[in-house]
Amino acid sequence: MIVLHHIPYSRSMRIMWLLEEMGLTYQVERYSITDGSLRAPAYLQKSPGGRAPALEIEGQAVFESPAITEYLCETHPDLGFGRLAGDVERIPFLQWLSYAETQASIIASLNLQMVFLRPPAKASPVVLKLEVARLRASVKMLEQALTVQDWLLASGFSAADTMMGFNLFAVPFFVDLEPFPAVRAYIERIHQRPAYQAVLDAEGPQQFYAQDFYPVPEA
C-alpha cells in the first residue's frame, strides 16, 4: 500500500501527478497548513520538518518531493520517468529536479508574505519586489529551455516535468506569463496530460489563493 500525505495544491501535487503517470495505486491522507496537523507527533515521525509531501511505501516513509521522485523513478525504472546513472540525460534530469525545488522555495516565500501574512504584520515591498524578480528570472530560464524542446529533457516527458507541476500552477499568481510564450505552451501541454487532469479532478476547486494575481504593493 502506498500512502501519500498531501496538502492540496502544494508541492505534494508533484508526487500525486507522478503516481498517476506511473499508474500506481495509492491512498491520499490530506492535511492543512493552518490546522496544526503537520505538527502532530505521528506526522513528524514521517516528515520531521512537518512538511508535505511524505510518502509511505514498502514499509518506510520518504519525505521531500525530490527524494520521493528519485525513489519512485529508481524503483520503477521500466516506466521510463527517471534517468538513471549512465544515462546521457542523467545530469540534466538531476539539475531540473533541483531547479524545480529552488524555484519552489521562492514561491513558498511569496506565499508566506503575500497570501498567509495577516495584519498588523506587513511584508516589505522591497523584499517582495526582489522575490518576484527572482521568480521572473527563473521563468526566463525555463522559457529559454522550452523554446527549443517540448519538455525539460530533449528525449521527452519525464519526472523532471512532474516536479514543475506545482510551480507552474503557482507562478502565474505572482508573475505575468504573457512575455513567456514557450512556458505558456508548456503549461498547456501539461494540462492536456490525462494524469494531470486526474490530479486536478481529485484536488477540486483550489482554495489556496484568494485572488487571481498578487501585485507587489507600493512602498
Domains of the chain: 3-79 (3.40.30.10), 90-193 (1.20.1050.10)
Q: Give residue 137's identity as a one-letter amino acid code.
A: A
What is the model's pLDDT at position 79?
Answer: 98
Is the pTM above the cut of 0.75? yes
Quickly list DSSP for 176-211: --TT-HHHHHHHHHHHTSHHHHHHHHHH-S--S-SS
User: Tens-digit pLDDT profile for the chain (219 aa)?
Assistant: 999 999 999 999 999 999 999 999 999 999 988 888 999 999 999 999 999 999 999 999 999 999 999 999 999 999 999 999 999 999 999 999 999 999 999 999 999 999 988 777 788 999 999 999 999 999 999 999 999 999 999 999 999 999 998 899 999 999 999 999 999 999 999 999 999 999 999 999 988 899 999 999 876
Instruction: Classify the phi-psi angles of 36: left when phi > 0, otherwise alpha if psi is within -120 to 50, otherwise beta.
Output: left
Return the CA Rg of the chain.
17
125 contacts 103 by C-beta, under 8 angstroms: no
What is the model's pLDDT at position 42?
Answer: 92
What is the model's pLDDT at position 219?
Answer: 66
Q: Nearest to residue 17, comparing CAs of 163, 151, 158, 196?
A: 196
Q: CA dist 157 to 22, 38, 44, 76, 188, Å?
A: 12, 32, 33, 16, 14
What is the model's pLDDT at position 58?
Answer: 92
CA 145 and chain centroid, separation: 18
CA 116 and chain centroid, separation: 18
